[in-house]
Amino acid sequence: MHIHILGICGTFMGGLAAIAREAGHRVTGCDANVYPPMSDQLRALGIELVEGYSADQLAIKPDLFVVGNVVTRGNPLIEAVLDAGAPYASGPEWLAEHVLQGRHVLAVAGTHGKTTTTSMLAWILECAGLKPGFLVGGVPQNFGISARAGAGHCFVIEADEYDTAFFDKRSKFVHYRPRTAILNNLEMDHADIFPDVAAIETQFHHLVRTVPSKGRLIVNAREQSLARVLERGCWSEVQRFGARKEEPGTLRARGEPNAFDVLRGSLKVARIEWGLLGEHNQLNALAALAAAEHVGVDPEVTATALARFENVRRRLELRGEAAGIKVYDDFAHHPTAMHTTIAGLRRKIDHEVTSPGAPPQRILAVFEPRSNTMKLGTMNAHLPWALEEADLSFCLQGDYGWDAAAALAPMGEQAIVAHSVPKLVEHIVRAARRGDHVLVMSNGGFGGIHGKLLDALQARG
């Protein structure tokens, strides 16, 4: 089959392209911005790319146009496809029919932690010898790729609640028909398509409806929003995790996030010692362990695998050090994720042994409100809370339609706003001192600020 993918350079569609190519399909594609690294990865797979969405791509005459959710009505190519009556499908629809059908799908859903938990789960199954396929919204460092078809029966997928396509406004995950579904957490996000958290809960309810009676839901016991989802109907086995105190059958952790026992009720089933920090990662590990157990992986095997888990790129990833100052990159862009990431770095700093008399290690948080939700200003009031554990915070003021300085005013002199990346770099370099940790948070490239910071710090000395 020859498929032509519209929006091929997105994380999901690029992963789909790689899987389709691996499965033997001919794949071509187009996007508005065809640039490295995704363009290089795709071309290395033998995938021909076209810049833009010109209507003359109709002449390619694929068997099917596969449409990413970045494509809207009015797009010249999709209008030509519709006018010609050419066959088209959404990415999740194509994936479900041609890759997931007949396999044991393990889907990881939630507002936060999807990419990390999906990566953990795929790695656990790999270490257990199950040779899973996977599609992750990032690059797991243990694999070095974001997607593969896999040779085994299991397929692990990051199950996004964002809409499917211009013609299908259901969440992507309703297409995946998982037998094992992790519901990690649920709160307000994607304000560009969801009016409130109740609308997101409805989509999660639709996901729950697709899990068979002999399937299993892995549910965060701390989340009232998920409890409301299950109250609307549940027809599958439920394994809860993350309880703060002993509950029969529920998985919980005892110990620090980097070294803890996994308990089922009062029974210890495994001990996990690994390189990740933060309570959020501890919860992610519990969820991944429970999901792996559903396909027959012993918890001790999971513990051994997680001891070698290297996390995902752009998750507290150290990009470099200059003048005794460390610069990190993180994908956090929602206030809760920002708060959790800063707390994780704070815990990491506290665990590091410093020499007597060394200056205190501060966190300088640098963020770009780039997501659709943040651009709309929906979460403005939460920003001071999100940044409360940072010593100083720096924000890029873009064309968001709201005033970042006003939103951060409760933080006083602890928050600095700039209207350009070069100006932001100037402020950070002026404030930074030896021993500091500069944490850059954005779901985009942030104008290459990481390299610019390191260069400027090095030049300053």
**317-460: CATH superfamily:** Mur ligase, C-terminal domain (3.90.190.20)
Give the burial class of 22: count Cβ atoms within 10 A of its Cβ; 0-12 exposed, 13-18 middle, 19 or more buried.
middle
pTM of the model: 0.81
Structure tokens belonging to residue 11: 């994380």
Write down the pLDDT at residue 337: 82
Structure tokens belonging to residue 381: 């009031």
Identify the helix (H) or strand (E) that includes residue 183: strand 180-183
Instruction: State which amino acid sits at residue 169.
Output: K
CATH (residue range 2-90): 3.40.50.720
Write down the pLDDT at residue 212: 97
Determine the Cα–Cα distance for residues 434 and 455; give it in Å rounded to an integer: 15
Write down the pLDDT at residue 339: 87
Determine the Cα–Cα distance for residues 236 and 179; give it in Å rounded to an integer: 9
Least Cα distance to 157 among 135, 181, 126, 180 occurs for 135
Least Cα distance to 98 among 6, 205, 17 occurs for 17
Write down the pLDDT at residue 55: 97
CA distances from 136 to 216, 235, 387, 428 (A): 21, 27, 28, 33
Q: Model confidence over 222-272: pLDDT tens digits?
A: 999 999 999 999 999 999 999 988 889 999 999 988 899 999 999 999 999
Count of residues in the chain: 461
Determine the Cα–Cα distance for residues 91 and 18; give it in Å rounded to an integer: 13
Question: Could you give the dihedral angle defined by the CA atoms of residues 202, 207, 213 and 219, in that order, rounded to the nearest 10 degrees?
Answer: -80
Q: Do domains 2-90 and 317-460 have the same CATH topology?
A: no
Instruction: For the beta carbon of residue 267, count every other beta carbon within 10 angstroms.
Output: 8
Determine the Cα–Cα distance for residues 291 and 14; give it in Å rounded to an integer: 26
Determine the Cα–Cα distance for residues 304 and 364; give it in Å rounded to an integer: 34
Residue ranges, the chain, pLDDT below 70: 35-37, 191, 352-359
Considering only the top CATH level, what class is 102-306? alpha beta
Write down the pLDDT at residue 427: 93
Q: Delimit the domains of the chain by residue range.
A: 2-90, 102-306, 317-460
450 phi, psi to nearest 5 deg: -60, -50
Determine the Cα–Cα distance for residues 253 and 149; give it in Å rounded to an integer: 33
Write down the pLDDT at residue 67: 97
Determine the Cα–Cα distance for residues 439 and 428; give it in Å rounded to an integer: 11
Helix, strand, coil: what percent of the chain each, to 5? 35, 25, 40
Cα atoms in the 13 Å half-sphere on the side-chain side of 143: 27
Determine the Cα–Cα distance for residues 155 and 110; give it in Å rounded to an integer: 18
**Pairing, β 180-183 against β 104-109:** parallel
